[in-house]
Structure 1
Amino acid sequence: MAAHPKETPSATGPQRPVSLWRNRDYLLLWLGQAVSSLGTSCTQFAFPLLIVELTHSIAAAGLAYSLGQLPYVLLSLPAGALVDRWPRKRVMLLCTFCLMVCVAGIPLALFLTSGPLRLLLLYALAFSLGAISLFDELVQLAARAWMVPKGQIPTAIAQNELIVGSCGLVGPALGSWLFSITRLLPFVTDALSSLILLCSLLCIRSPMQDERRTQRHHLLVEVREGLSWLWSQKVVRSILLISSYVNLAITASVLLVLAIVQQQHIPPVLYGLIVAVGGVGNLLGSLLCPLLQRRIRFGRALGYALLVFVVLWPLYGFITMPLLLGAVFAGIALCDSIRAVFMDSYRFAVVPDALQGRINSVYRLILFSVLTIGSSALGLSLERLGILPTVGIIWSGLLLITGFLFLDRHMQQATFPQN
């Protein structure tokens, strides 16, 4: 079996974990992903603007977004099984290269085509980017979980959340500025960021996975193997379901803030500040997670985070002042960041390395299915019922899952594996 880079041998005693800041391969992956994530956020911001500019249609931009999300619903389960079969480093290199080619294809599509053919090609690129991103995310998650000791996984997840939160703050502003210079510049920037990640991956020495078995079964058998393991793990199964509902609540939070802003005629500048404050809340939550993980048991910390959710959520039904609205939005974002880091850390720590792709694919299948259906239902509820009834509906679900978490013995006793 290949040597594992997570720990260094000691001449006189047991192996000791290497600090994340001294883990060369982890840092190469983390820094490369940080640059690439910033480029991706530019594309995510600029691509809908490009579609609207070409078509003068919000519906066309919405279709492009849906096509980018569709692979997560259609391909998650087989993608997870394939990621567990294939060499992770090769898959990451191939995905990064393909993402770079697809993003670079957006400017080429504008230069080489026109009319309906141009739009069809952009739609095809949107679907392709979604499909490749699915494989890329699954293999990156599994590789990161392998590179660090189980006791350091919460810190690694928190550091990744810092990247996501920072890109969420900086990416739209950078993408907007680049788009104002020329509409092709955000995509060129993203392609260059993928090139940097590609170079970073080439410098990584480890295989990013344990030695795999040579015998393989039918793809459906391997998918069923992952589902069977998940069904046997009560805590992980509960985490997946709770996480899916809370992510839907976060989507509802964004839509509720937008609805309140429109109803109260709050200026767009203040709306932007409210969203930015939410990003700050995410960053603070990520910074707090390693400290909390050392002091509070997993189940209790998760319960406390959801309890704050339950306390803050009803305020959306009554708040009209921008300052208070921003404070509630930031508080919910902070608790959600803590919740996400704790849940993801536990899941990565307990899932066997050979099943990481399949379990993460089930998570994405459930999450995106819930978001696809739930987002439409939320919009319909806000339009037909109004803000207060929608707040009550979501709050009822939060009460149920929080009560379940505090009453369930397995969730309360769950702790992070340390090795």
Structure 2
Amino acid sequence: MNPKVIPQQPVSLWRNRDYLLLWLGQTVSSLGTSCTQFAFPLLIMGLTHSIAAAGLAYSLEQLPYVLLSLPAGALVDRWPRKRVMLLSTFCLMVCVASIPLALLLTSGALQLLLLYAIAFALGAISLFYGLAELAALTWVVPKSQLPTAVAQNEVIVGSCSLIGPALGSLLFSITRLLPFVTDALSSLILLGSLLSIRSPMQDELRTERHHLLLEVREGLTWLWSQKVIRSIFLISSYVNLTITASALIVLDIVQQQHIPSVLYGLIVAAGGVGNLLGAALCPPLRRRIRFGLALGCALIVFVVLWPLYGFITTPLLLGAVFAGIALADSFRAVFMDSYRYAVVPDALQGRVSGLYRLILFSVLTLGSSALGMSLEHLGVLPTVGILWSGLILITVLLFLSRHMRQATFPQE
């Protein structure tokens, strides 16, 4: 009789050298990026005294996600991921370092045009890096540990939302160039971290290649055949729109009620605390709750908390609701992203992630404009009601959908 074969347990993430290098490098780089994201609009406003000019810079940074997500996803699946990440990190470092140079060497309209070009370049390069990094994560981490890894990435997001604005504000107050110098140095640390990783971060590259449009179509065809992933993309896009709306609604309430800016900062910080708590809850709960049920519970929290925005005006309650919604969103994001990374074939990771970003940023681009108009012309309560109706609809559809209710996290 053959002896029973006991499968070997994967090594702990804290002993996974390549994962730690990737995670720690990304942590430092994300903190530097948050400094630039905070300081860049302030820089544009200081130069132009125009909020519209600052808004244009933000839009230019987001525009590549709408224009380039599909081809970028296909190219990331063609190219060596590690090389894409290294080259992208180097280019990001050069772009951020060029911001002080643009301020020192140019002036007037030329200076503003250069800063706008840098904003677009930062968005385009970040798109390529993000697609390659997410695909690489599924290679260096076993499927059974993906929820923990994604939760730890969410911890980075929550921590940066707490620390980044304060650090960026401090550095900008010392000198307006310092946040960008700090970001460039953080990219240098990430570059060294990536160079130390031994893993190739992917299967062997395909020798047979087709036209780029055919490869994009291959990703679309695969996505169309996956009912759960399709539903995840649609739900995630709408929920991310409500998160954007949450920040705009709180800002509108703060202005209407003349709440001090210090208290507004604490309300926003409460969202970061909610993100951290949601990420911490995910790994233990993932082993106890079915994927579809966990997602449904997160949406129920949205449905219960969301209408409170239409009635509360005190900073304490606003902070509590903002933190609760951020917690539910972090919980939802970790479960959804973990499932997507585990299900998508390695050869399609870039294309499917590109499709997801195209859908997400298209919804955010159009939806954010509609949200601003609704808040300005209809007010807070009608806007809250409209978005609440959508949350109720997607929650009901999730529980009515058999394939979503029965979805389980895939095993190794």
Identify the TM-score tier after normalising by the shorter chain: over 0.9
The equivalent residue for 2:373 is 380
Amino acid in structure 1 at the alignment position of 2:236 = S
Residue identity in the other structure for 1:257: V
Q: For each residue in 1:223-261, what CA deviation from the matched residue of structure 2 results, as whole angstroms up to 9, or x when unmatched?
A: 000000000000000000000000000111111111111
Partner of 2:84: 91
Alignment of 1:240 with 2:239, yes or no, is no
Residue in structure 2 matching 1:73, options 61, 66, 77: 66
Flag as ranges the 4+ runs of structure 1 deviating above 2 A: 11-16
Q: For residues 296 and 13 of structure 1, what CA distance do their matches in structure 2 show?
A: 25
Is 1:175 the equivalent of 2:168? yes
1: CA distance, partners of 2:7 / 2:286: 24
Q: Which residue of 1 aligns with 2:244?
A: 251
Q: Distance in 2 between matches of 1:304 and 1:236?
A: 18
Question: 2: CA distance between counterparts of 1:395 and 1:47?
Answer: 33
Work out the CA distance in 2 between the residues paired with 1:252 and 1:45: 19
Q: TM-score, normalised by structure 1?
A: 0.97
Equivalent residue, structure 2, for 1:157:
150
198, 207, 220: which one pairs with 2:191? 198
For 1:125, the aligned partner's letter is I
Cα deviations by residue, 1:60-111 (Å, 9 ceiling, x for unpaired) = 1111111100000000000000000000111100000000000000011111
Deviations, residues 21-58 of structure 1 (Å, cap 9, x unaligned): 11000000000000000000000000111111111111
The match for 1:405 is: 398
Q: Which residue of 2 aligns with 1:348?
A: 341
Residues of 1 paired with 2:31 and 2:84: CA distance? 21
Whole-angstrom CA distance in 1 between matches of 2:237 and 2:365: 11
- Following the alignment from structure 1 to structure 2, what is the Cα–Cα distance between the partners of residues 386 and 116? 37
Matching of residues 215-230 of structure 1 within 5 Å: 215-230=208-223
**Once the 2 structures are TM-superposed, how far is the Cα of residue 212 of structure 1 from its aligned partner?**
2.1
Instruction: Give, in whole Å, the separation in 2 of the partners of 1:316 and 1:245.
Output: 18
Per the alignment, residue 294 of structure 1 pairs with 287
Q: What one-letter code is carried by the residue in structure 2 that aligns with 1:173?
A: A
Residue number in structure 1 paired with 2:297? 304
**CA-CA distance at 1:15 after TM superposition:** 3.3
The offset of 1:149, in angstroms, is 0.8
Which amino acid is the alignment partner of residue 140 of structure 1? E
Of 255, 258, 261, the residue aligned with 1:268 is 261
Asked if residue 359 in structure 1 is aligned to residue 352 in structure 2, the reply is yes
Alpha-carbon displacement from aligned partner over 1:149-189 (angstroms, at most 9, x marks no partner): 11100000000000011011100110110011111000000
Query: Who is 1:337 aligned against?
Result: 330
**Aligned with residue 95 of structure 2, among 77, 93, 102:** 102
1:205-225 superposed Cα distances (whole Å, 9 cap, x missing partner): 010001122000000000000
User: 1:46-57 residue pairs with structure 2 within 5 A?
Assistant: 46-57=39-50
17, 22, 27: which one aligns with 2:20: 27
Structure 2 Cα separation of the partners of residues 322 and 208 of structure 1: 46
Report the TM-score, using the length of structure 2 for normalisation.
Answer: 0.98
* 1:7 aligned partner: none
Aligned length: 409
Deviations 1:250-295 (A, max 9, x none): 1111111111111112111111111111110110000000011011
Shift of 1:133: 0.4
Q: 1:117: which partner in 2?
A: 110
2: CA distance, partners of 1:281 / 1:53: 32
**Counterpart of 2:287 in 1: which secondary structure?**
helix
**Counterpart amino acid of 1:98?**
C
Cα drift, residue 12 of structure 1? 6.7
2: CA distance, partners of 1:230 / 1:390: 32
In the TM superposition, what is the alpha-carbon distance from 1:14 to its structure 2 partner? 2.9
Counterpart pick for 1:371 among 364, 380, 388? 364
Write the distance in 2 (CA, Å) between the matches of 1:299 and 1:153. Answer: 17
Query: Partner letter of residue 171 of structure 1?
Result: G
Equivalent residue of 2:351, what SS? helix
> 2 CA distance for matches of 1:266 and 1:104?
37
Query: What is the distance in 2 between the residues matched to 1:89 and 1:102?
Result: 20
Q: 1:27 is paired with a residue of what secondary structure?
A: helix
The CA distance in 2 between the partners of 1:78 and 1:17, in whole Å, is 34
Unmatched segments (≥5 aa) in structure 1 = 1-10
Q: What residue in structure 2 maps to residue 39 of structure 1?
A: 32
CA distance in 2: counterparts of 1:328 and 1:361, whole angstroms: 32
- Say if 2:134 is the partner of 1:130: no
Amino acid at match of 2:23: W
